[in-house]
Homo-oligomer: A and B are copies of this chain.
């Protein structure tokens, strides 16, 4: 339930591409870094043992699939990260991200919407609950 960095890389491929063979995943990974086929294989086998991936045999191939969701996993990692790096202060983290990021107007608009939802009193009233 707490993937390592390498495992996270693999999960991201599977989230993006859907169920894949070891070769497909390895192909993708080796575009960004040096990694041998058997390394990827071993990692995915371990992840299968750990229950992070499911595996179905199709002929001579094994097709793997992520068993944990992207959002769910990100949330989990995020919680941990806030704790360890920001000593629990989520707001401090948000401020720091925003302060240093170049958000598009589109994104800022969405963000604004979210804030209005969170803080109904402070703004023009939307609708009654």
User: Contact residues of A with B, CB < 8 Å?
Assistant: 5, 8, 12, 71, 74-75, 77-78, 81-82, 84-87, 90-101, 103, 105, 107-112, 114-115, 118-119, 121-122
Number of copies: 2
**A27 smallest CB distance to B (angstroms):** 18
Contact A115–B112 (Cβ < 8 Å): yes
Contact A86–B74 (Cβ < 8 Å): yes
A89 to B75, CA, bound (A): 14
A90 to B118, CA, bound (A): 20
Given contacts A81-B81, A105-B121, A111-B115, contact A74 B96 (CB under 8 A): yes
Q: Which residues of B contact A5 (CB under 8 A)?
A: 84
25 pairs, A vs B, C-beta closer than 8 Å? A8-B84, A8-B85, A12-B87, A74-B92, A77-B81, A77-B85, A78-B93, A78-B97, A81-B85, A82-B97, A90-B97, A91-B110, A91-B111, A93-B97, A94-B111, A95-B111, A98-B114, A99-B114, A103-B118, A105-B121, A105-B122, A108-B119, A108-B122, A112-B122, A115-B115
